[in-house]
Structure 1
Amino acid sequence: MKYLLTTLLTILTLSLSYAQTNAEDELGAWYTLSGSHKISNNFSIGTLAQLWLFEETQNFNFILLTGGLNYHVSPKLTTTIAFSYADIDGGFNTNSPHTFENRLAEQIVFKHKTSKLPIDHRFRAEHRFFSKLNTNTTKHRFRYRLGTKIVLNKHLFLRLNDEFLVTLNSNKLTENRFYSALGININKSSNLQFGYLNRKIKGQNFHRLQVSLFFKTDLRKKKS
């Protein structure tokens, strides 16, 4: 496990150094706050707020706000329907008008183990409705994410996943996101992740720091 941790940190350091010397790829950041709120034995509400910056602490890129209803079919299988709102900047260091997005999504998450290694698959279909000035457009996108969580000890873990995104009217892979992070368990219901994300889209290669807080709450009525 010490070897895995050392390897992850080495890859992260090299990747960030590369990003700082590449004029195309500014070293930006994605900040995420994600919650899961249990409302019954089979249902929970998911919340997400995500902020993207072109630089570590400045230069707005994108903000996404999401709310969804999860149905837990079993401990291994969860389905979700969600709505999102997004504000998208016109471009790096430009004064172009922002694009605003309303998004509907359907999602399935399936978990299992392979040789004791936990594996999770996330399948998501998105229906994206864009508005920019007086122009409205619609796009549909499919996403598949393959991931794992490697426990180092009771306090630390590694999170790794790779996601493929395809816009349905393009007939080709339109985006790939690789994510690696060191996670810290704050308590049984929350964890903090510090990671690196490599985003390849439209011939561009972006390197992003990621700081994410994940937490769970239980809103079910307590039995007296």
Structure 2
Amino acid sequence: MRCILVFCFCMISAAAANAQQTRQFSSWLASFNTVAIPKTKFSIHMDAQVRSTHEWREFQTFIVRPGLNYHVNKNMIATVGYAWVHNLRAVQDVTAYLSEHRIWEQFIVNHKLGFIPIQHRFRVEQRFIGTPVVNNNKLEKDGHELAHRFRYFLRGIVPFNGEQTFTKGAFAAAQNELFLNFANTDAVNGKVFDQNRAYLAVGYRFSRQFDLEAGYLNQYISGRGAARSTVHVLQLAGYLRL
């Protein structure tokens, strides 16, 4: 556990060290939902997100990500799902929204560190990325490239009331997610390292079923060649568990 926390801290430090490079400002709105299927070990996962472009000028990304969860036990969940990602792309100053389709698999491990709930999420994505071409001054999709990505996500919630069984009240949340490309990296940035997202938030748990939180996310992206960018994100997220 300590090694993981040190590793994530190093990734956050790396992002901060490169913050003098290209900077952008964005906002993300997200909804994460889990609906249990009665009398089974299965549940439905669904998250939806909307993200803005630099300085909130227009919409950048729409994401819809359904999945099927299998609850191995009370602390472990295996999931398989699909994601539709609609991105604003630009080629030769011509822009248009092009879709990316993903198949994804993940495994979640939950545990407690004292009274702090900790979540580890391991996700693998098969990304079908549309190849953009300019045709008659319009940006269109001409086939796709298949790329693969691994994501490791670590999140902790600190209840302000310090209760072991946290059912209602204010909390702070901290998380970090590391993205690594593998197999056909030429389809993306040509590298193993893709990006890192570090996030801090405050929120309120209204009940066992619903949380609402707002926070700051630092997204450090490694582009092709020497290209680097840091995106400063304001995020509002809701978590529904039924």
TM-score, length basis structure 1: 0.80
Aligned twin of 1:160: 174
Within a 5 Å distance, the mapping from 1:1-224 to structure 2 comes to 24-40=22-38, 41-55=40-54, 58-91=57-90, 95-131=94-130, 132=132, 133-153=141-161, 154-169=168-183, 170=185, 172-202=192-222, 203-217=228-242
Q: 1:163 to 1:23 in 2, by over 3 A?
A: closer
* Coordinate RMSD, CA, aligned: 2.1
**Distance (whole Å) between structure 2 residues aligned to residue 35 and residue 57 of structure 1:** 26
**Distance (whole Å) between structure 2 residues aligned to residue 37 and residue 213 of structure 1:** 14
Q: CA deviation at 1:186?
A: 2.3
1:189·1:216 contact (CA, 8 Å) conserved in 2? Answer: yes
Cα deviation digits, residues 60-114 of structure 1 (max 9, x gap): 111100110001111110000011111110159x542333111100000001223
One-letter amino acid of the counterpart of residue 209, structure 1:
L
Work out the percentage of aligned pairs sharing the same amino acid.
Answer: 29
For these two proteins, the number of residue pairs brought into alignment is 196
Q: CA deviation at 1:23?
A: 9.3
One-letter amino acid of the counterpart of residue 215, structure 1:
L
**Distance (whole Å) between structure 2 residues aligned to residue 151 and residue 91 of structure 1:** 43
**Distance (whole Å) between structure 2 residues aligned to residue 136 and residue 30 of structure 1:** 26
Q: CA deviation at 1:146?
A: 1.4
Q: CA deviation at 1:56?
A: 6.4
Structure with the largest fraction of strand:
2
**Distance (whole Å) between structure 2 residues aligned to residue 85 and residue 27 of structure 1:** 24
**Distance (whole Å) between structure 2 residues aligned to residue 174 and residue 23 of structure 1:** 16
Unaligned stretches of 5+ residues in structure 2: 1-18, 133-140, 162-167, 186-190, 223-227
Unaligned stretches of 5+ residues in structure 1: 1-18, 218-224
Q: CA deviation at 1:129?
A: 0.5
Q: 1:116 to 1:190 in 2, by over 3 A?
A: closer
